[in-house]
Structure 1
Amino acid sequence: MTESTTGRSAGTAVADERRAAPMVRVENVHRSHGSGAAAVHALRGVSFEVPRGELVALKGRSGSGKTTLLNLVGGLDTPDQGRITVDGTDLAGLGEDGLLALRRDRIGFIFQSFGLIPILSAAENVGVPMRLRRTDPAEREERVGLLLSLVGLAEHAAQRPGELSGGQQQRVAIARALANRPALLIADEPTGQLDAETGLAVMELLRAVVRSEGVTALVATHDAQLLGLADRVLELSDGEIVEH
């Protein structure tokens, strides 16, 4: 076997091992805010895995640690103790540039507040992540059109966020989160500002996106109706996983 063949075989083995591993692995993670007697223990020894291709819901009361956990998995914060691996990469081994690249290229974020840029059209909002990545303009426009069609907003491409309903704005935000073909979607209460019917439609869209785009999703929600659409539910209480 030649050296180049050996190198290819080793590379293939590493790629296969990564694909077989969970998309997210959280091991004995602790996170506190503040110090001393005033410290708030947001997470206390949390451990779980998110298999590839699944939609996993994270439930718990306000203050249970859901947002803190999502921020840690998304590389927006670092744990005091423990280990987090995303798509085969140990986040502790990444510097600021590495974390930035991870968030740009491999993780898509969806927030309760939508986070769209008011002066840009729906299509321009979806295209922002690809502009930051310097994607070829023709490829970018094709991807924007595909994603707007995927979320049912092809006819609203030229409209600005203020001209769209809350549900439509969240659909634009979902399309934007998918722009750079992430491996993982992180959604923090994505239906929190929507009425029950619209929220259910958005959650069903997320469920469909996980299947059609082949991504993994970790979604925090307090809505019991939406939990039924998840492949698995994790419950957080006082910073600990209490139910799988």
Structure 2
Amino acid sequence: MSDGDDKEPTGPAGAPLLRVRDVHRRFGSGTATVHALRGVSFDVAAGTMVALVGRSGSGKTTLLNVVGGLDRPDAGSLHVDGTDVTALDEDGLSRLRRGRVAYVFQTFGLIPVLSAAENVGAPLRLARLPSAERERRVELLLELVGLADHARQRPAELSGGQQQRVAIARALAASPRLLIADEPTGQLDAETGLSVMALLRGVVESEGVTALVSTHDPVMMALADRVIRISDGRVDG
């Protein structure tokens, strides 16, 4: 069984980076059962950005959590970069999330007492990357997101848009294959949100990462290579 921590591609050449097949997820029981996902199937090609679109309660967040190994489906299968996510144990899922899959949330999730550089470097410190190599990677990522001059500032000293940029840089620290972003511009004004969306588009192209982004924003949909619509736990697109 794959443990999810090998960063080399494991799928056959030309295979989708993400393959979701007949995934179901239910919450509750009896008459109180909620069918959050109802037989969801789709593929995502490597190096593309896909917008996941749907109303609140449509199943977007549940789908993202299942894809990223934060939740387990009741039925169906998921493969990320050739790894069967549904076959992993808890340790394997943890390694998957530390290596191949990364998250960006609308609440940023930065550590308040750490500087921007320290937040970005936190995953690399956990991975025990040598100090000099870690510092080079952090510097490169802060440059990528346009925050090289804000490396020593803490989250409270940064704007919302800057904090989200730090969160994106942190998500990219371990060079993930798949970047999952759940409403990444939900707490930002329109202008700042646009700059963050453009950054995500640029990251897909410059870092070669694959991105699955849930959004209500038509601009993000326009920037995406593909739009998947979800309604009542089913997808179309």
What residue is the counterpart of 1:49 in the other structure? Answer: 43
Alpha-carbon distance in 2 for matches of 1:47, 1:95: 23
What residue is the counterpart of 2:5 in the other structure? Answer: none
CA deviation digits over 1:190-223, x for unaligned, max 9?
0000011111110100000000001100000011
CA deviation digits over 1:147-200, x for unaligned, max 9?
000000000000000000000000000000000000110000000000111111
| TM-score normalised by the chain length of structure 1 | 0.92
Alpha-carbon distance in 2 for matches of 1:68, 1:79: 9
User: Which amino acid in the other structure matches residue 167 of structure 1?
Assistant: G
Identify which of 76, 81, 84 aligns with 1:90: 84
Alpha-carbon distance in 1 for matches of 2:233, 2:135: 43
| TM-score normalised by the chain length of structure 2 | 0.95
What displacement does 1:56 show?
0.4
User: Which amino acid in the other structure matches residue 175 of structure 2?
Assistant: R
What residue is the counterpart of 1:163 in the other structure? Answer: 157
Identify which of 208, 216, 227 aligns with 1:214: 208
What displacement does 1:226 show?
1.6
What residue is the counterpart of 2:178 in the other structure? Answer: 184
Report the 3-state secondary structure (helix = DSSP H, G, I; strand = E; otherwise coil) of the residue aligned with 2:12.
Answer: helix
CA deviation digits over 1:63-104, x for unaligned, max 9?
000000000000001000100110100012211111110100
Report the 3-state secondary structure (helix = DSSP H, G, I; strand = E; otherwise coil) of the residue aligned with 1:32.
Answer: strand
What residue is the counterpart of 2:26 in the other structure? Answer: 32
- Is 1:103 equivalent to 2:117 in the alignment? no
Answer whether contact 1:18 1:87 (CA < 8 A) is retained.
no
Alignment of 1:1-244 (within 5 A): 17-242=11-236, 244=237
Greater share of helix residues, 1 or 2? 1
Report the 3-state secondary structure (helix = DSSP H, G, I; strand = E; otherwise coil) of the residue aligned with 1:127.
Answer: helix
Report the 3-state secondary structure (helix = DSSP H, G, I; strand = E; otherwise coil) of the residue aligned with 1:83.
Answer: strand
- Can you give the 5+ residue segments of structure 1 that lack an aligned partner in the other structure? 1-13
Q: Number of matched residues?
A: 230
Backbone CA RMSD of aligned residues: 1.2
Structure of greater Rg: 1
Change (3 A) 1:35 1:180: same
User: Which amino acid in the other structure matches residue 177 of structure 1?
Assistant: A
